[in-house]
Amino acid sequence: MLTITVSQLNRYLKATLEENDKLRDLYVRGEIAGFVQHSGSGHCYFRLVDEQSGVKAVIFRQQAELLGFEPQDGMAVLARCSLGVYERDGAYQLYVRELVPVGEGALAVALAHRKAKLEKMGVFDPVRKKPLPLYPSRIGVATSSDGAALQDIVAVLKRRFPATVLVHASTLVQGAGAPSTICAALELLDSAGCDVLILSRGGGSKEDLSAFDDEAVVLSVFACKTPLICAVGHQTDYTLCDYAADARAPTPSAAVELATPDREELTRRLGEFSQCFEGQAIWMIKDRRAALEALSTHTALRSPHSTVNKCKERLDIYTKALYNSTRIIMQGHAARLGRQAARLDSLSPLKVLERGYCLAVRDEQVHTAAKLTVGDEVSLRFSDGQAKAEILEVRVEQ
């Protein structure tokens, strides 16, 4: 017989439930009872009950902040959750990830699940959204040929910026076949050399707009290399394509206004620029004319010969001054050179020879008597000539 502790039993049941794939993602319908939100942690605790049974449930703070409504006792809801065991009490409970009122139905639950999945994939990331061009030359429009949306787009484009070429790819905008035609139209327009795309349809019920919540359509919007504006339904309608697009417009007409500049506004601004440039040109002409008039009254233009003669006179004066300055400087340098030459001449060894001395010279340099030997020949230099001599005796004085 197996004997275990209560903790071991609860731990075993918890692990068993958590390893069951069928219990990891459940949709449980019931009514809320005993709803309490903890003021400190923000977690929500309640029971999910029907006519016969009840089960404990908890929503942690992160999920509770995303509910979008205020749960109340007696409210019928559909909970997306997993089943687990609270080990301390040995009681199983539901860990709720999403909670929607039953009035919104299973479609709302599926839509919320799809939105969370796409958001996790980065489809709605604002960082990857592309900027719209300022002056598009080609606009691609994916919408129904029979709907009012296309007529509104054509009318607004003709009034606002008629230079832009409209490229239309017809699609179904509701029904079972709509998603595939929308995807095909977007792929076609994305490769047609358009500067910006518009995905559009008029208003309708939530079910009428469901094609624009289709995962394949949303991924096609995300995959477009061309900037894309989504304009589906009325101003209050939001689809998943709105989140995936590079920009959202509340109506088809607003999408054209978002994609194109206003011709009248451009005309007004061009007029302002023209006036500004004209004013600048007039000012520059007046400024140059004033400068020319001032120049025309200059002496050099009124009497050029007189101006040239005055310049010649100044040149003669400067030439004489330069000559005199140069002569004085050269005289000073000559005097200094003469004094230096006299000093140098007084220090010449030839002056010493004139006083009766002679200079003995050998082929190699000799500075002392110790380097001479008897019989060496030396040259004797006198002030008036030279003579050869032989060393007969060497005395070195200590």
Q: Which two tokens stand for residue 59?
A: 């929503």
Is residue 82 included in any domain, yes or no?
yes
Distance CA 56, CA 179 (A): 40
Is residue 275 included in any domain, yes or no?
no
Is residue 48 included in any domain, yes or no?
yes
- What's 71's domain CATH number? 2.40.50.140
The Cβ of residue 284 has, within 10 Å, a number of other Cβ atoms equal to: 10
Query: Are 96 and 79 spatial neighbours (Cβ–Cβ below 8 Å)?
Result: yes
3-state secondary structure at position 140: strand
Q: Which two tokens stand for residue 1?
A: 């017989």
- Give the relative orientation of helices 215-223 and 105-120 as an angle to the nearest 10 degrees: 30
pTM listed for this prediction? 0.48
Does 86 share its domain with 149? no
| Terminal-to-terminal C-alpha distance of the chain | 132
Percentage of residues of the chain with pLDDT beyond 90: 30
- Of the CA atoms within 13 Å of residue 55, those in its CB half-sphere come to 17
Which of these, 236, 182, 173, 241, lies nearest to 207 by C-alpha position? 173
CA–CA distances in Å: residue 289 to residues 226, 275, 297: 54, 21, 13
Give the pLDDT score at 172. Answer: 92
DSSP letter at 132 equals P
Give the pLDDT score at 76. Answer: 85
CA–CA distances in Å: residue 360 to residues 38, 376, 377: 124, 12, 10
Is residue 78 included in any domain, yes or no?
yes
Is residue 268 included in any domain, yes or no?
no
Does 47 share its domain with 112? yes
Kindly tell me the burial class for residue 204, based on how many C-beta atoms sit within 10 Å of its own C-beta (0-12, 13-18, 19 or more).
middle
Give the pLDDT score at 244. Answer: 94
Does 170 share its domain with 256? yes
Does 73 share its domain with 166? no
Residue 187's domain spans which residues?
Answer: 136-261
Is residue 62 included in any domain, yes or no?
yes
Based on the structure, what is the number of domains in the chain?
4
Identify the residue whose tokens are 């006299």.
342
Query: Are 95 and 81 spatial neighbours (Cβ–Cβ below 8 Å)?
Result: yes
DSSP letter at 56 equals E
Does 255 share its domain with 175? yes
| Per-residue confidence in pLDDT tens, the chain, 398 aa | 677 777 777 787 777 777 777 788 888 988 888 899 988 888 999 999 887 888 999 999 988 888 767 888 878 888 988 888 888 877 888 999 988 887 655 466 667 778 888 999 999 999 999 999 989 999 999 999 988 899 999 999 999 888 899 999 999 998 888 999 999 999 999 999 999 999 999 877 777 888 999 999 999 999 999 999 999 977 777 899 999 999 999 999 999 999 998 877 777 777 777 778 877 888 888 888 888 877 777 666 666 777 778 888 888 888 888 888 888 888 888 888 888 887 877 777 777 777 777 777 776 666 777 778 888 888 888 878 888 888 888 888 76
Identify the residue whose tokens are 């200094």.
336
CA–CA distances in Å: residue 249 to residues 167, 170, 252, 319: 19, 20, 7, 85
Is residue 343 included in any domain, yes or no?
no
Is residue 215 included in any domain, yes or no?
yes
